[in-house]
Amino acid sequence: MTRVSRIARYDEWRATRFFPGLDGVRAVAALLVVLHHARTHRLWGALEGWNGVTLFFVLSGFLITTLALREEDEHGALRWRAFVVRRCFRIVPVYVASLALYTVLMFSIGFGGSHRAAFAHALPWYLSPFPEVPFFTRTHIVFSLAWSLGIEEKFYLLWPLLPFVLLRKRVRARIALALLVALAAQLPLAITGGGRAVAPYSALLVGCLLALALHHRSAFRFAARLGSTWGLAVAVALLVAVHAATHVIGVTAAGYRVSSALYYLPYSGAAALVLAAVALQARGSGILSWRPMRFVGRVSYPLYLTHPLGLGFAALAVAPGGAAAELAYLALGVTLSLGLAWALHRLVERPLIAIGKRQATRIRPEIARGPALAPA
C-alpha cells in the first residue's frame, strides 16, 4: 500500500498536480463494469457493476472541471479549442480501434454471432456522434456499452464551452448552471419515466460541482474534512449503503438503475464524497495508489470498451459450472481483458494522446503548457 500525505490546506490543494488515488478509483469503476458483464454468479452479482459507469461519470466531471479551473487560473482563460483537440485524440482513436476489432471478429470468426444482424444495424450509430441510440432503443447487443461514450463526448464539447467561455470567471453562474442542469436532467424520469439518455448527465455535473467547491477557498475549508480518516470512512460507508440499496431496489423493481430518478443523484453524491476524500489523500486511501490498481486505472478506457471480448473468449474456454469453474472463467476473462487493454493502451492510446497534446499546443503556443493533472 502506498503511503499518502493528507492535503489539509487550500494552498496545498491548489499546488497539487497529480492525484494517484484517482487512478485506483478508475480501476474500481472499470472492474465493476467487467463484473457486470461477466456470467452471472452470486459471488459477484450483488456488486451491481452498472454503478461503475456512474462512478466513471462523476470522476470525469470532477477531473475535467478541475483541469479547466487550473488552466483558467494559470493562463487567464481555458483554451477551448485546444481542449477539444486533446479530448478527441484521447477518446476517438481507442474507440475506433475497438469498434474495428469488434467488427472484424463479428464478421470473420462469428464472435457474438447471434448479435450480428443487430450489430450491423447499429453500426452507423456507433460511427456517429450518437452511439447511445442503440442502447436506449434496443435490447442489449454487442458494443452497446458505447452509449456512455456518447454521453461523455457531448459533455466534453458543451460543458467547457458554457461555463468557461460564455460564463468566464462567473463562479456563481457556473454553480447555478451545474445545479439546474443536474436537476433538470432528472425531470423526465421523475415525471414520465422517460429521458434515460439524459439522466446520466446529472452524474457528470455532480462531479463538476465537487470540483467547483474544492476550488473555492471558503468551500474547501468544509470539504477538507473529508480528507481525514473519519471523512473517508463516512464517505465510503455512504457509498456502500447507496450501492447496496441499488441492488435491493433493483431486484424488486425491474430497470431501476436506468429508469428511476431515485438513482443518479443519490449515488453520484455519495461517489463525489469518496472522490473528494481520495483526492485530498485521506489516510487509508493509499490502497487506491497501489501500483496494480493504478495500472488498471491507466488502461481502464480500453478495458471498458473491449472487456466483453476477453470475457467472451473465456466463456468459450471454461464451461459454466460451480464456484470453482466460475472463478476460473472470471480470472481468465479478466486476464485476457487486461492484456488486450494494455496492448491498445501502448499501441493506440498513449501515442495518440501525445500527438493530440502536440497538436493542441499549435493553437495557442504562448499558453501551451497546461496543468499536469492526471487525464480524465
Quickly state the pLDDT bin for 1 (edges 50, 70, 90).
Answer: low
User: Cα–Cα distance between 52 and 267 in angstroms, integer?
Assistant: 11
Q: Which three cell numbers stand for residue 29?
A: 469503476
**What is the value of pTM for the model shown?**
0.91
Look at residue 15 in the predicted model and tell me its pLDDT: 87
| Mean predicted confidence (pLDDT) in 47-52 | 80
Q: What's the confidence (pLDDT) of residue 44?
A: 72
Query: Per residue in 214-265, pLDDT tens?
Result: 999 999 999 999 999 999 999 999 999 988 887 665 544 444 455 677 788 9
Whole-number mean pLDDT of the chain?
A: 88
Quick count: other Cβ atoms within 10 Å of Cβ 11? 10
User: Quick one: DSSP state of residue 199?
Assistant: T
Does position 74 have pLDDT exceeding 80, yes or no?
Answer: yes
pLDDT tens per residue across span 278-303: 999 998 898 999 999 999 999 999 99
According to the model, what pLDDT value does residue 39 have?
Answer: 85
**HEC letters along 259-309:** HCCCCHHHHHHHHHHHHHHHHCCCCCHHHHHCHHHHHHHHCHHHHHHHHHH
Residue 124's contacts (CB-CB under 8 Å, 6 or more residues apart) are: none
- Confidence band of 195 (pLDDT split at 50, 70, 90): confident
Residues 76-127 have pLDDT tens digits of 888 899 999 999 999 999 999 999 999 999 888 877 777 788 888 899 999 9
Report DSSP letters for 124-187, one per residue: HHHTSS-TTHHHHHSS--TTGGGHHHHHHHHHHHHTTHIIIIITTT-HHHHHHHHHHHHHHTTH
Q: Answer whether residue 208 shows pLDDT above 80.
A: yes
pLDDT more than 70, % of the chain = 90
167, 173 Cβ separation under 8 angstroms: yes
Residue 160 has pLDDT above 60, yes or no: yes
pLDDT for the residue 369: 46
238 close to 289: Cβ distance less than 8 angstroms: no
Q: Show the cell assigned to 76.
A: 487567464
Q: Is the pLDDT of residue 344 over 50?
A: yes
> And the C-alpha cell for 122?
447499429
Question: Rounded to whole angstroms, how far apart are CA atoms 143 and 300?
Answer: 16
CB 34 within 8 A of CB 311: yes
Neighbours of 227 (CB within 10 A): 23
- Among 262, 223, 259, 233, residue whose Cα is nearest residue 245: 262
Determine the Cα–Cα distance for residues 376 and 374; give it in Å rounded to an integer. 6
Task: pLDDT band for 267, please (50, 70, 90 cuts).
Answer: very high
CA-based angle 314:310:196, to the nearest 5? 120
**pLDDT over 70 (residue 376):** no
Mean pLDDT calculated for residue range 49-53: 86
pLDDT of residue 248: 61
Asked if residue 70 has pLDDT above 60, the reply is yes
Distance of alpha carbon 272 from its chain centroid, rounded? 12
When mean pLDDT is compared across 38-42, 45-49, 155-159, the lowest value belongs to 45-49
pLDDT at site 365:
46
**Averaged over 39-48, what is the pLDDT?**
72
Q: Which helix (H) or strand (E) holds 57?
A: helix 50-75
Give Cα 289 distance to the centre of its chain: 17
